[in-house]
Structures are given as structure tokens and as C-alpha cells.
Amino acid sequence: MNAAKTAKTLMWICLVVISALSLFPFYIMIVMGTHYNEDLFKGIPILPGDYLADNLKTVMSADFMSVYLNSLIVSVVSVVLATLTSTLIGYALAKFEFRGRKALQTFVVLTMMVPTQVGLIGYIIEMRNLGVGNTLWPVILVWAAFPFGAFFMVQFIRDSIPNDLLECARIDGCSEPGIFVRIVLPIMKPGLATLATLVFLWSWNNYLLPLVTINKSEWYTLPIFISNLGIVHRTDYAARMLALTLTTVPVLILFVLGSKTFMKGLTAGAVKG
């Protein structure tokens, strides 16, 4: 065996070991959801147990599907809202010259440096004054002003869409909305897919904002639901693990289906020439 084959074999062995180590926590989470709660304190289970049906009954009896629908609504609407506003802001800052453009771009960057917790109280008061407190709207509307999304779109559009292409479209008589819909959006598909994936993951797993803005159980999202699951008479960790497994499935499917586009969007503009 020559040196090249040996190096390739070692590389594959390393990749298999790293993949196994990365997937092992997910396997343990799935297996723990099939065991009796008290058995989990005896040690980490390796093989599946016999209490999957009982744990599933505990999860479903706590109105899991309604909470699941709440999280799905929040994530999907957040993706639409964040991608729409971020794309429009990014396109304007990247391709148009107007007074205050640099100041606005600096403001977007500065807002990225402000911790979420700093503006949390003011945001809650604002939502209450708007009359949408203690509903799903505070968890959704926070994505309408998404500084990272605007910054990401500015960089993506600046690197991916040449100005000459836009000028050619204007010379041919295409209107500005037509240029945006027919030329800009098709080129931006990798960037849109990347941003949509990130927003979906972050809104799906968001715990802090729903915790401080939602008090009614009918508006709970999955992170809040799981933290409160099985605490009436005892803390049912097995049921929580099963709920976590059901919660992780759509995220894994989304990432697997969009992994190629996701990586393409992240690396867009990284290589030039």
C-alpha cells in the first residue's frame, strides 16, 4: 500500500470516528426516551428500552401537537419576515447610493454588538403597548429587525451580483422591482437558503424570549413546553428526552435537505478570481 492510499485510509478512519462521536449524543437522547424515568439514574443506557409507548403517551397527553404547531408557525413566519426585510435592506445598502448609506450600514453593524438581554425589557414593554403581549407575536416580530441578516445579505449581494448586470437590465427598460424579482432574487437563492436555515434553527430553539413574554400555556413553544413537561408529580426526564427527539427531527431533516445550499451560501464570495 503506497503512502497516498495509507493517508486516504487514515483520513476515512478519522472521519468515521469523528462522525460517530458527533452522532453519539443524538443516539443516547433517542435511547433515553425509550426507558423508564427512574432507570435513567442507574447509568447511561446503550440499548433501547420498553417504555417508548408510555413516554409517548405522557408527551401527547400534555397537548404536544398544539405546542408543536405553535413552534412551526413561529419558525415559518419568522423565516419569511427575516428573509424579506434582510434582503430588502441588504439590496438597498449594497447596490444603491443615497445619503446616509454608510451611517445606516454602520448602525446595522453596531446593533449586532448589542446583547439581546440589554433591550429585552424595552421590547416587552413595546409589545404590551402594541397590544400583542403574551401571544406569539413578540416571538415573531423580533425577526423583523434582524441585524445579522441585513449584514449577511449586504455582503452576499455585494459579492455575488455585479453592478454591470443591473445596469444592463436598466438599459433594457426593466423596472427596479422587476430587476429585484427577475434578476436579484434568482441569484440570491443560496444566500436566502442559508439565512432561512439559520433563522429557522434559531427561532425553533429560542428559549429566552418565549420564557419572558409568554405566560399562557396555549401559546407555549417547544423549548418552554419541554422545560415544563412532567413536573406536576415528578420530573420525567425520559418523557423530556422523547419530546426532545421529536423536536430535533424536523431540524435534522431541514439541515440534511439544505446542507449543500447552506454551505454554498456560507462560502459565497469567499473565493474570488
Q: How far apart are CA 265 and CA 191, in angstroms?
A: 5
Chain-centre distance for alpha carbon 144: 15
For residue 91, which phi and psi values (nearest 5 degrees)? -65, -45
Cα–Cα distance between 127 and 3 in angstroms, integer? 64
Q: Torsion angle, CA of 249/253/256/258, rounded to 10 degrees?
A: -140
Is the pLDDT assigned to residue 79 strictly greater than 90?
A: yes
Q: What pLDDT digit, counting tens, does each position of 183-238 carry?
A: 888 888 888 888 898 899 899 988 888 888 888 888 898 888 888 876 655 677 88
Per-residue model confidence as pLDDT tens digits over 116-144: 777 888 888 888 888 888 889 999 999 98
